Amino acid sequence: MTNDWLFIGIFLLLAPVFPALALVIPRLIAPRKPNPLKSQTYECGIETVGDTWVQFRVQYYIFALVFLIFDVETVFLFPWAVAFGQLPLFAVMEGVLFILILVAGLMYAWRKGVLEWF
Amino acid sequence: MGDPVTLIAQWLNGLLSGWGLAPGLVTLILIVIGVVVLATIALVIDIFMVWLERKFVARFQDRIGPNRLGPFGLVQPLADVIKLLIKEDITPFGADKIVYNIAPIMALATVLLLWAVLPFSATTYGTNLNVGVLYIVAVGAISTLGIIMAGWSSNNKYALIGAFRTVAQMVSYEVPMVIALLVPVILARSMGLKDIVDEQVIWFIVAAPIAAILVFVTNIAELGRAPFDLVEAESEIVAGFHIEYTGMKFGLFYAGELLHALTIGGIFSALFLGGWRGPGAETYPILGIFWFFLKMFFMYWVIAWVKYTFPRIRIDQMLNFNWKFLTPLALVVLVVTAILDKVLPHEPLWVYSLGMLAANLVIAWVTLQILRSRARKERQRVAEPGPIARPPEANPSTTQASTTPQV
């Protein structure tokens, strides 16, 4: 059990090392002759107009909110699914009721037009 | 016949203990060796994935593909790697340098992390994490973050639009994916991938075909491959999030995507296709590795097949498909599976599996009927002319009013 997490922890530390190595090697052997024209951002051939870091459209936040609700829901459902063997029918129906409440939420969002992309 | 991987581990364990090292240190060293070997194998496979991918594209498009360097062009990816390594690395003007450089590392590292839980055979696996499925979802979310970081830090508007689309797409498709992943967890009563494979005397694709399709489709979307590749749509936003990346940094994104596709094949075969199960795999665990990789590459081939068959979809179609079709379907499948699991007898396993299969077929039929009736309505709506689409001849008053000849 502890070994499992130790494995993940060491993997977490070592996994970035491999791609990082692949970035260090070009630094040593690749040519580096930057000039202002070369490091311009790639757009239509003319220079960029205005700031790039603009605000996200509000639509994305609405989808993010709906996502948040469902993701939190599924985090609650995972223990329910793991313990499924020990659960009596009553507890299973309780889980189903929990899902149905969220279905009602999805329906509400749908009718309110939250899920439309315009 | 013993399992070679276990034998090597035991031999190393004995060797290191023989040197008088503390048992805790021996475990640590073994884990580090295991991690390095696993990651190296993944990366070596990844290099040859480039060759495989190009061969697949070529075959799907009725071409030959790379065939000049080495037998069947097998040395081609090595030449590509050397080219990428000695290419000049350009950082665009005004980019956020730290985030810009971390993003490609994250894109590949997170995919490597997924390999920690893949069960290659009954005895060979990185670790049997007891929250394996949740771990896969969590690590998959981090790889999304890498794409967003790349798009945001590049100081390029095309890249930013790509990042926007990534947010909408990945965030949306995670919902039906997580819900569909609950179905194999319910069937196996465990989240560990090795435990899930151990439970599959009859493959879960028999008991849960709809959940399997849902997991497959949502994973392709999460991967950002065609038909869900509006993150990097060439015809609209040039290359999306990786437009400003050159040389090895672009190579890392490309390698990350290919390895992710293969890893998704592996996860799918562990969850639904019985993982290492196959003829002779119980007696000779080493055969399990062969079966697992066979299934993994088969699923990768299916993903490539889908990629080169379907055209790209629009963003509103993408969101509608997810929220109005996949999510409700995933919820229905979950509820039906949960209730039927308590109702059906567990003892002869084939009765249970066939019962589940029948329920899935009913759901599929009802879904198809609903889709068909909606499509019929949609066709009627398009066929009959609306007030704007009506030509002026249809209304007699307007034809008389217009005295000047129409061009």
Residue B390 has pLDDT above 50, yes or no: yes
Name the residue facing A41 among B36, B190, B244 (closest C-beta): B244
CB < 8 Å to A6, chain B: 27-28, 31
> pLDDT per residue over B217-235, tens digit each?
998 888 878 788 877 777 7
At CA B196, angle to CA B195 and CA B197, rounded to 5?
A: 90
In chain A, the number of structural domains is 1
CA angle (B204, B208, B212) in 5-degree steps: 85
A117 part of a folded domain: no
Q: Do B335 and A57 touch (CB under 8 A)?
A: no
- Tell me the chain B residues in contact with residue A99 when contact means C-beta distances shorter than 8 Å: 331, 334-335
Q: Does the model's ipTM exceed the 0.90 cut?
A: no
- pTM for this one? 0.84
Q: Do the domain assignments include residue A81?
A: yes
Q: Answer yes or no: are the C-beta atoms of B247 and B80 closer than 8 Å.
A: no
Report phi then psi at A35, rounded to 5. -140, 160
Domain ranges of chain B: 1-86, 89-329
C-alpha angle B232-B235-A47 in degrees, rounded to nearest 5:
85
**Residue of B28, B39, B101 lying closest to A14 (CB–CB):** B39
Tokens in use for A53?
């870091």
A25 to chain B: closest CA residue: B85
Dihedral (CA of B176, B181, B187, B191) sign:
negative
Residues of chain A found within 8 Å of residue B98, distances taken between Cβ atoms: none
- Rounded to an integer, the average pLDDT of B330-356 is 83
Q: Which residues in chain B have their CB less than 8 angstroms from residue A83's CB? A: 189
A27: in domain: yes
Chain A residue with minimum CA distance to B251:
A22
- Grade residue B357 by pLDDT with cuts at 50, 70 and 90: confident
The number of C-beta contacts closer than 8 angstroms across A and B is 216
- How does pLDDT run along chain A (118 residues), one tens digit per residue? 567 788 888 888 888 888 888 888 888 887 888 787 777 777 766 677 667 777 777 777 888 888 888 888 888 888 888 888 787 888 888 888 888 888 888 888 888 877 777 6
Residue range B149-163: average pLDDT?
A: 82
Q: Give how far B179 is from chain A: nearest CA, Å.
A: 7
Domain coverage including residue A48: 2-111
With beta carbons under 8 A apart, name residues in chain B contacting A49: none
| B256-297 pLDDT tens trace | 888 988 999 999 988 888 878 877 777 777 788 888 888 899
| CA gap A84, A99 in Å, rounded | 15
CATH number of the domain that A31 lies in? Answer: 1.20.58.1610
Minimal C-alpha gap between B24 and chain A (Å)? 10
The shortest CB-CB distance from B89 to any of A10, A26, A82 is to A26
Whether residue A36 lies inside any domain: the answer is yes
Q: How far is A6 from chain B (nearest CA, A)?
A: 8
